[in-house]
Structure 1
Amino acid sequence: MIKKVMLIILLFFSFPMNAAIHAKEKESKKALAIVIDDFGNNMKGTEDMLNLPVPITAAIMPFLPTSKEDAVRAHKKGHEVIVHLPLEPKKGKKSWLGPGAITTDLSDKEIRKRTKDAIESIPFAVGMNHHMGSKATEDERVMRIILDECLKHNLFYLDSKTTGNSVIKKLAEEMHVPYLENNLFFDHVYSNQHIVKQANKVANELDDQEKLIAIGHVGVSGPMVVNVLKEYIPVFQQEADIVPLSKLVDGYELIK
């Protein structure tokens, strides 16, 4: 009889403790957001990216032939949508920017109009990052207007970190705009070997970081990126949940 009572007491205390430990482990699981840039022009890899079995964040360029279509398709498949705003770089062809690009020689009024039009052209957008932009993201005047429009439209901003001298962090904190910073690109070098190397880097960095953001692209490197992702998604999931980008934004309330 005494043994039975002791066993009941032991079970009573051990079950809540085990549940608490399990809950703590679940809460502490790491998070990875995979952002794919350059949707909107039916680029290589578009279909396969949208069919990936995990939530991605589709960064869609405005005013291109399939911009709206890609946004709707991404949303229907459970992916998150953000505006991929073309901003002036220090180097590169102007034609790479696409329509509605924002350059540092534009007036305040025109910058605001182009930003607002871009946001309103992409259905289901909850955030923004930039296409190119190494020059514009160093310009406080330009970025203050863009971030103000993000604030007005309840968008967070992902700094893709195309320059080490970006003013986005400083301005976003000052203006109370929810923001994030990219950790790495999968495909800034167009080779399968490099993309695999970057995927391994993501897996290794998840050992030390609670949150990680990695950006890839559709287009020239799109088919290579999607094939590597298919191989590495199970590897990433051993360490982290793969989540929409908004899940990593501190204090951001998704109201769309």
Structure 2
Amino acid sequence: MARRKKKKNLYKFILLVIFAATFGTALFYFLTQRGENLERDSLIIERNINNLLLKLAIPEKNIITWRVEKKQQGKIWIEINKEAPLGRAEWSIARSALLTENLSNKQNYTVSYAEIRGGGALKATVKNRGLVFARITFSDIKTKPLLCIVIDDCGSDKKRLTDFMELGMPLTFSILPDHRHTQLLDASLARAGFETLLHLPMEPHKPDLKSMGKGALLTDMSAAQIKSVLLYDLLQVPSVKGVNNHMGSLFTENADKMRVVLSILKSKNLFFLDSATSPRSVCLKTASEAGVPCLRNSVFLDTIDETDKIKERIREALSIARKKGYAVAIGHVTRKNTAQSLREMKDTLIQGAEVTTLENILAEYGENK
């Protein structure tokens, strides 16, 4: 009897040990996955940076901001990135700024400064034990051509999109309607400070319903049907600043159909980017008549998805920008080599042009170009 009782107690002890081990493992996993949340520190650092920008009297329209949500080494934070023009004479003021002021754990942070781009810019970096929390780059005020890089076909592949977001450039992202991550990407890209567009499917000369995807506009639709489809597409991406066409070589040649589209964009205060899928496109002319700001794509970067070819197209975009004062280049999130090519050409891009948004180009050079 005593032996049976002892055996029973042993079983209880073993079960208790297993439960404790399981609970401890689960707790450890929860804590490590959850991580130390330092988003509040990120917000304080950004406020300090904004105070510096106010002190330097840099107009808000000249400041480019983007944010990247980070999780690493058991920490969760928002990496703040800003670029602004600043004459070299005022760099000493920027160096004296207290970017870690009001942080409760200030001792864990460091601020470093470095002249980059051949001495043409000053970069301040805020780190927490080696992890970058903020970068702000002050570019010496010189006349540079403007270049907007639009990344099309967003909506399905989040991983490849992240590759572009982490390039550290103010890219513009164009989001397809009715895709798996359409609404999620609209919200997250806007929160990160990127300019976004609706990538509106339009009928090409050789219709392919599968390639066009859902939410497409067709030339046999009535004005009421076009309006209904477009308004439905726009509802999915409330943060967009404008619209560009996905495919659409046939639709963009039809002035009557484009007038319907442009009238809706005007009522929503949105601009249009002609992706230039047809040399006979009427978008610029029709947009001008409708009073809708409109730009035209200068070059597709990755029609051939090979690194050398993409780099050639990047250099072509820079050449166009130098001649015209600005250029628009379109790449695709679905291509394998585009993000890597942009990463490898980043220094060339930044030295040769101011990478910026379509809104900034429209503000600088006017409409319907």
TM over 0.5: yes
| Band of TM-score, shorter chain | 0.7 to 0.9
2:147 match:
32
1:63 match:
178
Cα distance in structure 2, aligned partners of 1:109 and 1:123: 21
Deviates more, 1:90-99 or 1:170-179: 90-99
Does residue 42 of structure 1 match 2:157?
Answer: yes
Q: Cα distance, 1:198 vs. partner?
A: 0.7
TM-score scaled to structure 1, two decimals?
Answer: 0.84
1:237 match:
350
Cα distance in structure 1, aligned partners of 2:159 and 2:307: 15
Cα distance in structure 1, aligned partners of 2:262 and 2:276: 15
- Change over 3 Å in CA distance of 1:240–1:163 after alignment to 2: same
Q: Cα distance, 1:80 vs. partner?
A: 0.5
Q: Number of residue pairs matched?
A: 230
Aligned AA (1:155) = L
Bigger radius of gyration? 2
Does residue 146 of structure 1 match 2:261?
Answer: yes
Percent pairwise identity: 32
1:110 match:
225
- The Cα offsets for residues 189-224 of structure 1, whole Å up to 9 and x where unpaired, read as 2322321211222233343231111000011x1x30
Q: Cα distance, 1:250 vs. partner?
A: 4.1
Identify the structure with the greater strand proportion: 2
Gaps of 5+ in 2: 1-87, 90-139
RMSD: 2.2
- Please say if residues 227 and 260 of structure 2, whose CA atoms lie closer than 8 Å, have aligned partners that are also in contact: yes
Deviates more, 1:196-205 or 1:81-90: 196-205
Cα distance in structure 2, aligned partners of 1:185 and 1:112: 29
Q: Cα distance, 1:46 vs. partner?
A: 1.5
Gaps of 5+ in 1: 1-17, 20-24
Cα distance in structure 2, aligned partners of 1:161 and 1:227: 24
Cα distance in structure 2, aligned partners of 1:84 and 1:163: 16
- The Cα offsets for residues 226-248 of structure 1, whole Å up to 9 and x where unpaired, read as 00001112101112111111111
- The Cα offsets for residues 158-181 of structure 1, whole Å up to 9 and x where unpaired, read as 011100111111111111101111
Does residue 73 of structure 1 match 2:188?
Answer: yes
**Larger RCO (CA under 8 A, 6+ residues apart):** 1
Cα distance in structure 2, aligned partners of 1:181 and 1:234: 25
- The Cα offsets for residues 81-108 of structure 1, whole Å up to 9 and x where unpaired, read as 1110000001252210111111101111
1:195 match:
310
Partner SS state of residue 327, structure 2: strand
Partner SS state of residue 45, structure 1: helix
